[in-house]
Structure 1
Amino acid sequence: MAQVEATTERIITADAETVFDALADYTGTRGKLLPEHFSEYEVREGGDGEGTLVHWKLQATSKRVRDCLLEVSEPTDGQLVEKDRNSSMVTTWTVTPAGEGKSKAVVSTVWNGAGGIGGFFERTFAPKGLARIHDTFLANLAAEVEG
């Protein structure tokens, strides 16, 4: 099985602390920002960064739905890591300052892909599809915090 990765980033006109706080707010802001690819969003434990347990379904394609149960940790300042209990998928959100009143938000998701021809197609197309979903989320995040 080969590892599959999808990474995208965006410069947001808001300070890094504001952006990170919005990302870490699973009980409030986070659910409002999810694109239409997400459903059944539910915070099961915690709700603010480290220690949060959140559930959602991610419909990456018309045929592929992932049932995700994510444990959230904050290994370093400005970083959230979401580890899916139901798969090998790990998403890392990193927010850093990017000049006066700006920040850079980077989201990277990795997982163990399938083998064979199915794995080839997954490695080829899944990162682009997930990057589009992440781009939409980051645009929603920017709209939320840039006001």
Structure 2
Amino acid sequence: MTPLRVTALTMVNKPAAEVHTALLDYEQVRPALLTEEFTDYQVHGTEVGWTLLVDERRPKFLYRMFGAHKRPTWACRAHVEAGELSVVERDTERPLVTTWTVTPNGETRCVVQVQLDWEGPDGTRARLREKLALRKTYETLLSNLHEHFEPKRPRK
């Protein structure tokens, strides 16, 4: 197994403390941010669980056509640790650590970065697939966070 890292970031036009508070809201805000790759989302006190699709998006017919019955997933159950402007989710099932960092950029803006660190497969293609899939997933999740604070205005 090889140590792997994926990082994504976005700028949000809200104070860092407000965004940090939203990231810690696992009951209301976080479920609204999740992408279709997250299923079976549950909150258990200081732990949160979900099933995560970790393969690049491919048409479902390809899986049926080539004999794969289901797309690869990870069942995650993470212990949540809150810092001053950070949130760390440590998976209790595998060596996966997701770190959310909120960095102020002036009084009313901040940068939100998410970094995933885990032990991945040794095969080059498998590593690349996992990294690309997770980067896409978390970039979309960060877009959802941005839109949570700055909803798109309807076109006239």
Partner of 1:129: 133
Match of 2:77 among 56, 66, 69: 69
Amino acid at match of 2:100: W
In 2, distance between residues paired with 1:7 and 1:78? 17
Matches within 5 A, 1:1-147: 1-45=1-45, 52-61=46-55, 63-74=71-82, 76-115=83-122, 119-146=123-150
Offset of 1:124 from its aligned partner?
A: 1.9
Stretches of structure 2 lacking an aligned partner (at least 5 in a row) = 58-70, 152-156
SS at match of 1:36: coil
* Conservation of the 8 A alpha-carbon contact between 1:18 and 1:145: no
Deviations 1:67-110 (A, max 9, x none): 00010012x31110001111111100000111241100000001
Amino acid at match of 1:102: R
* Conservation of the 8 A alpha-carbon contact between 1:39 and 1:56: yes
Give the TM-score of the pair, scaled to structure 2.
0.83
Stretches of structure 1 lacking an aligned partner (at least 5 in a row) = 46-51
Amino acid at match of 2:72: R
In 1, distance between residues paired with 2:39 and 2:16? 28
In 2, distance between residues paired with 1:90 and 1:11? 22
CA-based RMSD:
1.3
Q: Give the number of aligned pairs.
A: 137
Amino acid at match of 1:17: A
SS at match of 1:99: coil
In 1, distance between residues paired with 2:48 and 2:89? 9
Question: Whose Rg is larger?
Answer: 2
Deviations 1:23-82 (A, max 9, x none): 10001111111001000101011xxxxxx20110001226210000010012x3111000
In 2, distance between residues paired with 1:10 and 1:110? 19
Amino acid at match of 2:131: P
Give the TM-score of the pair, scaled to structure 1.
0.87
Offset of 1:132 from its aligned partner?
A: 0.9
Offset of 1:125 from its aligned partner?
A: 2.5
